[in-house]
Amino acid sequence: MNSKIDTKTLEKTAKDIRAQILKMLSNAGSGHTGGSLSCVEIILSLYACALRHDPKNPKLAARDRFVLSKGHACPALYAVLAHFGYFPKTELMKLRKLGSSLQGHPQFGLPGLEASTGSLGMGLSIANGMALAARMDKKNDVKIYCLMGDGETNEGQVWEAAMTASHYKLDNICAIIDFNKLQIDGFLCDVKNVEPIKEKWQSFGWEVFEVNGHDFKALTDAYNKAKTTKGKPSLILAHTVKGKGVSFIENKAQWHGIAPKPDELERALKELGE
C-alpha cells in the first residue's frame, strides 16, 4: 500500500491495464469485456493506495482481503495482480486456457486471490465471514473489501448479507458497487431497477460514499473515509462507464460477455495509445 497518490502514473497504468485486458480477452476468444474495463480504477486504486498487501508474502496474516464478487471481471483483477508482481505478466495470456490458473472466473489458489467467485450474489456473504473471523481473531485493523456489480444487486442474497453486516456492526467491511448501470440484458432501469440505490443501502444501516469510479483521488478519499467509519459497514457507490476507455465498447450491453476480434482489438489499442 502506498498512501501517496501519483495520479498521473496511476492514469497511465490504468491505460496499460485496459490494453492488457483487451489482449487477454482477444487471445482467449471469450470473456467479459465491458465490466472488466469499468472497474480498472477501482481495483488499481485499491491495491495501489488502500489495501495492505505484500506480493512477496500473499498469505501475510495481517493483510487486508479483497473479494471480487463480480467474478466475471477477473481479467481486471488478474492484470492488477500481475502489475504488482503476484505472478509474471506472461501468465496473463493463459486466460481461460485449459489447465491455466487464470480461469474465466476467479479460482482459489492463484497467488493474491482470496476466494473463488462468479456465482453472483455470494461475494458479500464471503466478505462477512472474513470480517467476522477477523473480529474473532482480534485482528481489528484488518479490512475486508468486496467489489460487486450493480446488476448483481438484483440478487436477494446481497440484501441478506447487507442486513447481516449491519446487524453485526461490521465496520471492517467496505463494499464497492461498480455502478455502470448496465447488465447482460440491458440497462438496469429496464431489467430490474435498483434505484434509489444509495438510499436503499443507507436504510440497511450502511455508511455510503458516492464517487466517480474513474477518479483516483475520489476513490482513495472514499477508501480512507471507510477506514475511519465506526459502528457500521461502508459502501462506496462508484459511478462508472461500462467498457470505459474504448469508444465503440462504452455503454454497450452487447459487450458484456464477448471478446474483441483481432480487428476490434487493433482499433481499441489505438484508442488507448498503443
Question: Mean pLDDT throughout 123-152?
Answer: 97
Map out the domains of the chain with their CATH numbers: 7-271 (3.40.50.970)
Q: What is the pLDDT of residue 4?
A: 64
Q: Dig out the grid coordinates for 219 from the structure.
A: 476513490
- Reported confidence tier of residue 1, pLDDT bands at 50, 70, 90: low
Q: Percentage of residues in the chain with pLDDT exceeding 70? A: 99
**Phi, psi at 220, each rounded to 5°:** -65, -40
> What is the Cα gyration radius of the chain?
17
pLDDT digits (tens, 9 = 90+) for 201-247: 999 999 999 999 999 999 999 999 999 999 999 999 999 999 999 99
- Looking at the predicted structure, is the pLDDT value of residue 5 above 90? no
pLDDT surpassing 60 at residue 45:
yes
The CB density around residue 155, as the number of other CB atoms within 10 Å, is 19
What are the pLDDT digits (tens) for 56-97? Answer: 999 999 999 999 999 999 999 999 999 999 999 999 999 999
Whether the per-residue pLDDT at 113 is higher than 70: the answer is yes
The whole-model pTM stands at 0.97
Mean pLDDT over 1-28 rounds to 90
Q: What confidence tens digit (pLDDT) does each residue in 169-207 have?
A: 999 999 999 999 999 999 999 999 999 999 999 999 999
Residue 270: band (very low, low, confident or very high) from pLDDT cuts 50, 70, 90: very high
Provide CB contacts within 8 A for 210, sequence distance 6+. Answer: 198, 237, 239
H-run or E-run covering 148: strand 144-149
Per-residue pLDDT of 141-154, as tens digits, reads 999 999 999 999 99
Q: Write down the pLDDT at residue 274.
A: 83
